[in-house]
């Protein structure tokens, strides 16, 4: 089961990141930085108190992803993690697989806030896995509503999901995996 889940996550991540492969590493990094700046601006506008949380944390990450679900789902995306102390940026990939009463498609972004240095270090050096979520989403053209609960395996990471576009409803068991992008971290 665990091997199948990892295979689904890997296939989804590769399939959804193929357009990024045509751009140079510098262009990909610039696009990820732009996405992160936009995600942070959206978060700060919706929840102004999060600016101080992000700025005083050990670090933060921004990820953009797109996924499809019809009982079984998959999504993939990319992002970056910034260490607030060293100002070092690590580029990462993410993939997810789900199963349950889950139907639809959505594009979303998320901001992760790392509350301590050991958690940040573990996340960027050995990756991270989360499991379990439920969602109800209705958004078109970046305008819409989202209600999403993510059961995070660590209280040392706070996740702020933001739906960009899509239409999805359901409850599912989901696993997400994050790992370093070998090509962009050379």
Model's pTM, two decimal places? Answer: 0.75
Q: Does residue 169 belong to any structural domain of this protein? A: yes
Residue 120 near residue 154, CB atoms below 8 Å: no
125-142 pLDDT, tens digit each: 988 776 655 544 444 444
Q: Which of 3-17, 95-109, 163-177 has the lowest mean pLDDT?
A: 3-17
165-180 pLDDT, tens digit each: 545 455 556 677 899 9
Q: Does residue 100 belong to any structural domain of this protein? A: yes
Q: Please report, for residues 39, 42, 82, 137, 163, the alpha-carbon distance to residue 46 in angstroms, rounded to integers and kept in the order given.
A: 11, 6, 21, 17, 13
SS3 185: coil
User: Strands 157-180 and 59-83, how do they pair?
Assistant: unpaired
Q: Does residue 146 belong to any structural domain of this protein? A: yes
Q: Does residue 33 belong to any structural domain of this protein? A: yes
Q: Does residue 185 belong to any structural domain of this protein? A: no
User: What average pLDDT does the segment 24-36 reach?
Assistant: 96
Q: What is the mean pLDDT of the chain?
A: 76
Percent of the chain residues topping a pLDDT of 70: 62
Q: Does residue 75 belong to any structural domain of this protein? A: yes
40-81 pLDDT, tens digit each: 999 999 999 999 999 999 999 999 987 667 667 777 899 999
Q: Which domain holds residue 127?
A: 2-180
Q: Does residue 186 belong to any structural domain of this protein? A: no
Report how many domains make up the chain.
Answer: 1
Q: Does residue 24 belong to any structural domain of this protein? A: yes
> How many whole angstroms separate alpha carbon 131 and alpha carbon 9?
13
């Amino acid at each position: 089961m665990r091997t199948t889940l990892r295979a689904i996550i890997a296939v989804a991540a590769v399939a959804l990141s193929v357009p990024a492969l045509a751009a140079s590493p510098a262009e990909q990094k610039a696009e990820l930085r732009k996405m992160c700046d936009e995600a942070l601006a959206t978060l700060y506008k919706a929840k102004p108190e999060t600016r101080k949380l992000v700025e005083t944390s050990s670090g933060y990450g921004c990820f953009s992803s797109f996924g499809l679900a019809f009982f079984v789902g998959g999504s993939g995306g990319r992002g970056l993690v910034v260490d607030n102390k060293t100002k070092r940026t690590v580029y990462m990939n993410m993939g997810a697989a789900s199963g349950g009463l889950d139907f639809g498609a959505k594009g979303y972004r998320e901001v992760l806030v790392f509350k301590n240095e050991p958690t940040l270090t573990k996340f960027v050096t050995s990756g991270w896995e989360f499991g379990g979520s439920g969602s109800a989403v209705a958004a078109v053209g970046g305008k819409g509503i989202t209600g999403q609960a993510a059961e995070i395996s660590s209280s040392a990471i706070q996740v702020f999901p933001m739906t960009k576009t899509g239409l999805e409803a359901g409850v599912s068991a989901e696993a997400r995996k994050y790992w370093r992008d070998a090509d962009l971290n050379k």
